[in-house]
């Protein structure tokens, strides 16, 4: 038995289960995006409900599926948001959702709606959202959790307007990415209704999917490589991309930002002359996203 545990531990340490093309990818998530991700997930859940193993219900501003409740945060002003976790797989979410045994219907629906998985542990995570801290969530291997610190939890509509972003780095495979390079990450959100005279406060944990494009140079490099570009434009943009990468490697963040701004400017100014609008948008959008992450 001890030997088995040892083998498992070693396998976990060396990255057992990671696919060949897995890489560390950086994600940014603004509070407003969390709120819209929950609504978007509820919409997908409801419109796809005919294909789901259990019935979806609606009650008091929330969708309910297999006893998992997802209240919308864009409406109820009295709901406190206290914790947001990034979970490595739909199966883990099912295990976390069930008090005695995993709620398999939850993992089934998350997988049906395209959940991507990543390989724990989460390596780097931080929060620039006021009143929110980042910490590892110890559910088996460490996952990512962002937690509101005490009184600053605030109500859900105020939460949506909070500045700053949650930032985390995950190890996942590019093969899971969607057509726009996006990943569908499993998340959980803990919130609490305030309660009233005759109502007790209710704490609920919603499991949902957030579609996020990595805010990293890898995605920009991938888009640049796939972009249909004339030779001179490609050479110039590649040069700027390489320069930004070099500056990042040297820890010169301002310099990298400057190179990315030049990259975005040069890609933009070539729109309709050398680069088609869709390619321009794809390159510029990603350059700006990376700048946000720096």
Partner 1 sequence: MHGSFGAKEAKVAAGAAPPRRSGAAFASRSVSGVEKTVKRLLATLVLLGILGTASAAARAAQYTFLLGSEKVFESIERFDAFLAAHSSTLRGVVAIPAGVKYAGRYCVKPSGGENLSLAEIVVLDSAASVAREFGSRGRRNADRIAQAMGLAAVDAWAPPALLADSSTSEWVADATWADPPYLPHFQAQGLLEGSSVGFLTEGDAGTVFRFTINVDPGLADPATGFFRFLLKLRAKGETASKRGKPKTKERTCFTFVDLRPVDPPALGALVDSLGISDPPASLLHRKIERILTQLARGNVDTALEILGEFVGVVGANAGGRIDPVRGRVLLEAVLDTQRGLTFVPSFPTCGNSKREIGEACDGADLAGQTCESLGFHSGVLSCGPDCVFSTAGCVPLPVCGNGVVEVGEECDNGPNNSDREPDACRRDCREAFCGDGVVDLLEDCDGRNLDGSSCREEGWEGGTLRCDDECFFDEDGCFDRDF
Minimum distance from residue 199 beta carbon to partner 1 (Å): 12
> Least distance to partner 1 from the beta carbon of 56, Å?
5
- Minimum Å gap between C-beta 221 and partner 1 is 18
- Which residues lie closer than 8 Å to 41 by C-beta, 6 or more apart? 70, 113, 208, 209, 210
Contacting positions for partner 1 (CB under 8 A): 32-33, 35-44, 46-51, 55-63, 72, 74-77, 157, 160-161, 210-212, 257-258, 260-273, 277-278, 280-281, 284-285, 287-289, 291-292
- Phi and psi at 73, nearest 5°, equal -95, -5
If residue 165 lies in a helix (H) or strand (E), which one and from where to where?
A: none
Least separation in angstroms between CB 127 and partner 1: 17
For partner 1, the closer of residues 18 and 258 by Cβ is: 258
Shortest distance, position 34 Cβ to partner 1, whole Å? 10
Asked if residues 6 and 13 have their Cβ atoms less than 8 Å apart, the reply is: no
Report phi then psi at 217, rounded to 5. -65, -30
Residue 219 CA to residue 248 CA, distance in Å, equals 15
Smallest distance, Å, CB 259 to partner 1? Answer: 10
* Rounded Cα–Cα distance for residues 1 and 201 (Å): 45
CB nearer to partner 1: give 150 or 251: 251
Instruction: Report the nearest approach of partner 1 to the CB of residue 264 (Å).
Output: 3
Q: Which is nearer to partner 1, 42 or 127 (CB)?
A: 42
Task: Say how far apart CA 57 and CA 67 lie, in whole Å.
Answer: 9
Question: Which residue, 41 or 118, has its beta carbon nearer to partner 1?
Answer: 41
Q: Nearer to partner 1 by C-beta: 190 or 262? A: 262
Strands 56-59 and 62-65: antiparallel
Residue with Cβ nearer partner 1 (139 or 271): 271
Nearer to partner 1, 112 or 139 (CB): 112
Question: Which one-letter DSSP state was computed for residue 22?
Answer: E
Residue spans of beta strands (DSSP E) within 176-269: 183-192, 203-212
CA 250 to chain centre: 27
Q: Which helix (H) or strand (E) holds 168?
A: strand 166-173
The answer, yes or no, to whether the previous bond of 121 is cis (omega within 30 of 0) is yes
């Amino acid at each position: 038995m001890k030997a088995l545990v040892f083998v498992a531990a070693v396998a976990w340490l060396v990255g057992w289960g990671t696919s060949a093309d897995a890489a560390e990818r950086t994600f940014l998530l603004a509070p407003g995006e969390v709120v819209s991700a929950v609504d978007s997930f509820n919409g997908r859940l409801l419109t796809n409900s005919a294909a789901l193993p259990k019935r979806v219900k609606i009650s008091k501003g929330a969708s309910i599926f297999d006893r998992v409740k997802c209240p919308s945060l864009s409406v109820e002003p009295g709901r406190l948001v206290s914790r947001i976790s990034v979970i490595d797989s739909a199966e883990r979410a099912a295990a976390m959702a069930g008090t005695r045994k995993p709620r398999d219907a939850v993992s089934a629906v998350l997988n049906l709606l395209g959940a991507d998985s990543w390989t724990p542990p989460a390596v780097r995570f931080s929060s620039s959202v006021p009143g929110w801290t980042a910490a590892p969530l110890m559910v088996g291997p460490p996952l990512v959790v962002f937690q509101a610190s005490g009184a600053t939890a605030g109500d859900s509509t105020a939460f949506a307007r909070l500045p700053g972003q949650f930032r985390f780095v995950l190890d996942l495979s590019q093969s899971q990415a969607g057509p726009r390079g996006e990943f569908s990450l499993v998340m959980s959100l803990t919130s609490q209704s305030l309660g009233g005279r005759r109502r007790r406060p209710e704490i609920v944990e919603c499991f949902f999917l957030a579609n996020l494009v990595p805010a990293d140079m890898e995605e920009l490099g991938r888009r640049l490589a796939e972009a249909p570009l004339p030779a001179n434009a490609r050479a110039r943009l590649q040069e700027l991309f390489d320069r930004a990468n070099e500056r990042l490697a040297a820890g010169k963040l301002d310099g990298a930002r400057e190179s990315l701004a030049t990259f975005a400017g040069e890609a933009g100014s070539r729109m309709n002359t050398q680069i088609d609008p869709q390619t321009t948008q794809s390159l510029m959008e990603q350059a700006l996203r990376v700048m946000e992450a720096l």
